[in-house]
Structure 1
Amino acid sequence: MNDEEVRRRFAEIAGGMTIADLRGVMEQIRRARVADYLERGRPELRHPPRPDTVCFRVRADLVGAKPPVWRRLDLRSSMTLDVLHEVLQAAFGWTDSHLHRFSIGGDGWDRNAQLFLCPYDVDEGEDEGVPASEVRLDEVVAESGDTLHYLYDYGDNWQVVLRVEDVRGMGEPVPLAVCVDGRRAAPPEDSRGLGGAELLEIQGDPAWFDPSEVNEALADLRFALREAGVAASVISVIDRLRYLPGGDRVEEVARTLVDPPTDIADGEVDAALQAWTWFLRRAGGEGIELTAAGYLRPADVVEASVVVPAMGAWIGAHNREAQSGPLLHFREALVRDGFLRKSRGRLLVTRQGRAGVREAQKIWDALITRFGGVVDGTHAMRGRHGALSADYSRDATICLLLMVAGGGRFNARVLEGRREVGRERTLRLDDVAAWLTALGWRRGDGPVEASELYEEGVRTVLENLWDGPRERADRGEMSDVARQFAREVLRRGSASLV
């Protein structure tokens, strides 16, 4: 049916309609078109990430700027878009004070574009999109001429278009991002709508731009941590602490995460996991029978006390679990962390536990994943009165792992009632309590106390990553394996930046 026949047929149908009938038909058509528009999902425009890492040279232009404002950047293809957001903030001199999003196939307001969202927009769920932290740069651009849109500050509506100018192989590692060139100062935060004189007053010389200033910002510790693969949540805590009084200690510890990881032999890891391995093997078959009160039987307590390192310095007969705190906490942690489960008065091995029986590395990997979830804020280890449990357990776990990764000891000076000669600079639980208090956490109306940190689930793991019984002189000390564990958990967030 051609257009003329359609018009003729419509005239025949409409000829017998009243004005009200015609308006009703038009309203139905309008609603159908709107519904179709709203129900149409956003397109999937990404492509698989490259198997190799390359360098994208891109030109980033601020849309609508007259005279033009732009930056030329060399970007590692494996970086995620949340990292690129931080690079662009440094490149244009902004302060990350507003929401942002990336898009391909159109700008950030285009219904036909695919969106890559900041954490706030992901949580709100008002727009359909993928978290920017889960998308690599080489999934959204691939070759010369490809474009990526960046929207910053939904009120001022700064739009930046990144266009790939060149794709170069990397014969050797290069920095995550380098500013090569650019023109003119970018408008300051919250300056949209200001007149020329007002803008000039807060902007200074609008023609000034020096790539070395951007590269100095890109050399900041936060980018080095990103490049080392440190989780974004960890960097956030470090940033909140490093500029406060005493923040030099935090920065000192954070820089240890940039160093290449320490080599730990497989045998050392296996030895440090002896307590986990013993329980999983002992619980094989019919499981470990518990008493009517739900405790380990005395004979099992005696055997387990020999292999659970934290029991080495514990005073007592070691034959009743209710009186063997470190053992009880460790056994409960095995259930909490998914290696054992209780059923009909017995401890049985889970699927995850069976994998650990076959290969101790599986235990290590499961623990890294478990506490990585705490660090990411996706898993709460325990509740806490007056606090959002996931947020507090995240911050407390991050601070404790930072302390251990930086060479600290898992005890408190105030609890010992003395300072050890030569250890004044060694981090302790007192320092972690001060960090958490600085982050805004409180115990009632007072500061966080060091004694509270003994309750954190990560303590049970760290103190038992030891290759034999702990002596009384080992109080608070961490093994090399425990320090490596802390570094791996803290680094688990952005491993794609290698």
Structure 2
Amino acid sequence: MNEDEVERRFRELTAGMSAADLLDLAGALASRRIAAVTHPPRPELRHPRREVVAVFRVRADIEGAKPPIWRRLDLRSTITLDTLHDVLQAAFRWTDSHLHRFALGGGVWDRDSQLFLCPFDVDDPDSDEEGVPEREVRLDEVMTEPGDVLRYVYDYGDAWQVTLRLEKVMSTDADATNGPVPIALCVDGRRAAPPEDSRGLDAEALSSLQPDPDHFEATGVNAALTDVRFRMREAGVLPEVIATIDRLRYAAAYLPDPDSDPHHSPTPDTDTLPTDPLIEAAAHALAAPESPVDPAERAASLRTWAWFLQRADGDGIPLTAAGYLKPTDVAEVSQILPTSDAWLTTSTREIDHSFFLHFREALVRQGFLRKVKGRLLLTRIGASARKTPDRVWQALVDRWRGVVAGTHVVNARPGSTDAAYLRDATVCVLLAVAAGERFRASWGDKEPGGLDHAARWLGTLGWRVEGEPVQGRDLYALPIRVVLENLWDGVRDRADEGEMSDTARRFAREVLRHTPSSE
């Protein structure tokens, strides 16, 4: 568009404007021009990712420390910056109790550097920082050649700033016979790092927290780098899930000793954290590789989904005038639905079988079917899933993974408290099932079940139901129950109540990961 065309278009757009409107427009244009000069967009400084995995030897120095405090780390080039943050926390023995960020091309507070933000800063609606989520950026995008520098700040109050300098790029060939290259290894370092919240303390107070400032052992750092949370990252566990597990694992460390000063806020010893054995079991289950899939077993566990999707092909499944499945379909489904309660009654009316109704409504809520003019028709997702059991499985996993990641909402309004509660409740139930627990709640003096553990975890996360602690029985109505209890080969016996199949446990683990572990 040439200058004359621009002028013509401007006259057309401003024709009829009053003098006041024109003054407002001029002011707005001037403000934008000033903003573009005073707050230019941050640069894009990332490099293309390497095609071949390498090991980067990086030295991390705490800026301004005298005598110097540093760590030398061997890092896999493919790790993302959120993982690098975890490595640095382990290297300097910090507890990830504060915010952090990375910067490329300058300091973390410089306007001309590119920022990589922690999840809180990404999600903060009041933040005007321009940056890329750290979980989306790999190490080999911000470092490529010896001498390259990346900067990191931890705790915006104490502002511990760390300079990371790439010293050497090494091949992974030497480690090929010893299995996968580890995420990180500490090979050297000097002096103990400053403790959490210690900036500004006088020498006497600091000496009580750091009795031997000269002490450093790489073995202690490397022991921390073998924690299950690093193996969960290796297995592709969703960051949101790792964050939830971290909160549950570390919660016990902050519980005060009954015999201690009630006003004292304890500082956890990250080497000896008291934790919940079931949470540990869930974390290790998610970190472990999966056994090979049995296609026949998976297909058998998905028979009811397949029946509905096949039956809905073409003209769809006709419903009664009252909107229920027809008796002939109820009679047929009752022979394959795992949670069928047909043994309670000989009725073939869907209204008399709550589990039939719950399952059918779940197919609609989960996007497989839609109700149109008295018929259940296939959606696009349902039409694709209908073709093979593997597609049914993947559609279910994708749907519930979206719930866990917060990109999909079930039975609630997006952004509402109910949506946040249902998300956390779903994660807690899936963690209990992944860890090997049954899907049941205790009543009276019975042994606690998986729902009781999930309810206790929800309490740890701060949730209440009508002001009261969450109970296991409060979770039985969760939509995830319909999926988990119906991933079963055939109709359940009464003795199978609350049991989970191996397929259901695999489903729970797969939903909680980015991708399947190894199949």
Give the TM-score taking structure 2 as reference length.
0.82
For 1:75-154, list aligned pairs within 5 A: 75-124=75-124, 125-154=127-156
Greater Cα shift, 47-56 or 67-76: 47-56
Of 146, 160, 165 in structure 2, the residue corresponding to residue 163 of structure 1 is 165
Distance 2:81 2:347 in 1: 53
Task: State the 1:32 CA deviation.
Answer: 7.8
Distance 1:318 1:486 in 2: 34
1:8-66 deviation per Cα after TM superposition (whole angstroms, max 9, x unaligned): xxxxxxxxxxxxxxxxxxx9999787422356322222233333332211111112222
Partner of 2:231: 224
Task: State the 1:138 CA deviation.
Answer: 1.9
1:186-217 deviation per Cα after TM superposition (whole angstroms, max 9, x unaligned): 22223334455554443333222211121122
Of 392, 397, 408 in structure 2, the residue corresponding to residue 368 of structure 1 is 397
For 1:168-187, list aligned pairs within 5 A: 168-170=170-172, 171=176, 172-187=179-194
Distance 1:410 1:459 in 2: 8
1:225-256 deviation per Cα after TM superposition (whole angstroms, max 9, x unaligned): 22232222222332333353871232133222
**In the superposition, relative to structure 1, how do residues 48 and 279 fare at CA in structure 2: closer, same or farther (>3 Å)?**
farther
Distance 1:139 1:217 in 2: 26
**In the superposition, relative to structure 1, how do residues 393 and 48 fare at CA in structure 2: closer, same or farther (>3 Å)?**
farther
Of 470, 480, 491 in structure 2, the residue corresponding to residue 469 of structure 1 is 491
Distance 1:314 1:439 in 2: 40
**In the superposition, relative to structure 1, how do residues 340 and 237 fare at CA in structure 2: closer, same or farther (>3 Å)?**
same
Unaligned runs of 5+ in 2: 1-26, 253-273
Distance 1:320 1:139 in 2: 61
Quick one: percent identity of the two aligned structures? 56
Distance 2:166 2:204 in 1: 35
Task: State the 1:111 CA deviation.
Answer: 1.6
Task: State the 1:349 CA deviation.
Answer: 0.5
**In the superposition, relative to structure 1, how do residues 476 and 28 fare at CA in structure 2: closer, same or farther (>3 Å)?**
closer
Distance 1:143 1:333 in 2: 53
- Please state whether the residue corresponding to 1:311 is helix, strand or coil: coil
Greater Cα shift, 371-380 or 453-462: 371-380
Partner of 1:261: 290
Task: State the 1:318 CA deviation.
Answer: 4.7
8 Å contact from structure 1 (residues 101, 116) kept in 2: yes
The yes-or-no answer on 1:350 pairing with 2:379 is yes
Partner of 1:9: none
- Please state whether the residue corresponding to 1:261 is helix, strand or coil: coil
Distance 2:284 2:353 in 1: 38
* Structure showing the higher helix proportion among its residues: 1
8 Å contact from structure 1 (residues 312, 471) kept in 2: no
Residue identity matched to 1:46: R
- Please state whether the residue corresponding to 1:310 is helix, strand or coil: coil
Task: State the 1:95 CA deviation.
Answer: 2.0
- Please state whether the residue corresponding to 1:477 is helix, strand or coil: coil
Partner of 1:249: 278
1:103-134 deviation per Cα after TM superposition (whole angstroms, max 9, x unaligned): 21222112222211111111124211111122
Partner of 1:396: 425
8 Å contact from structure 1 (residues 413, 430) kept in 2: yes
Partner of 2:212: 205
Residue identity matched to 1:446: E
Task: State the 1:356 CA deviation.
Answer: 0.9
1:65-97 deviation per Cα after TM superposition (whole angstroms, max 9, x unaligned): 222211101112222211111111111122222
Distance 1:473 1:230 in 2: 33
Greater Cα shift, 154-163 or 112-121: 154-163
Distance 1:400 1:88 in 2: 31
Partner of 1:16: none
**In the superposition, relative to structure 1, how do residues 29 and 237 fare at CA in structure 2: closer, same or farther (>3 Å)?**
closer
Partner of 2:450: 428
For 1:182-331, list aligned pairs within 5 A: 182-196=189-203, 198-243=205-250, 244=252, 247-311=276-340, 315-331=344-360
1:125-146 deviation per Cα after TM superposition (whole angstroms, max 9, x unaligned): 4211111122222222223222
- TM-align CA RMSD: 2.8
8 Å contact from structure 2 (residues 341, 355) kept in 1: no
8 Å contact from structure 1 (residues 232, 493) kept in 2: no
Partner of 2:514: 492
Distance 1:35 1:256 in 2: 51
Residue identity matched to 1:344: K
Of 455, 476, 485 in structure 2, the residue corresponding to residue 454 of structure 1 is 476
- Please state whether the residue corresponding to 1:162 is helix, strand or coil: strand
8 Å contact from structure 1 (residues 305, 318) kept in 2: no
Distance 1:48 1:336 in 2: 41
Task: State the 1:303 CA deviation.
Answer: 2.0
Distance 2:354 2:108 in 1: 55
The yes-or-no answer on 1:35 pairing with 2:5 is no
Greater Cα shift, 31-40 or 340-349: 31-40
Residue identity matched to 1:458: I
- Please state whether the residue corresponding to 2:152 is helix, strand or coil: strand
8 Å contact from structure 1 (residues 356, 363) kept in 2: yes
Task: State the 1:355 CA deviation.
Answer: 0.9
Give the TM-score taking structure 1 as reference length.
0.85
1:446-487 deviation per Cα after TM superposition (whole angstroms, max 9, x unaligned): 221222211111111111111212222221111111111111
Distance 2:446 2:199 in 1: 58
Greater Cα shift, 77-86 or 185-194: 185-194
Partner of 2:7: none
Task: State the 1:493 CA deviation.
Answer: 7.2
**In the superposition, relative to structure 1, how do residues 112 and 455 fare at CA in structure 2: closer, same or farther (>3 Å)?**
same
8 Å contact from structure 2 (residues 278, 435) kept in 1: no
- Please state whether the residue corresponding to 2:170 is helix, strand or coil: strand
Partner of 2:259: none
Residue identity matched to 2:151: H
Greater Cα shift, 228-237 or 244-253: 244-253
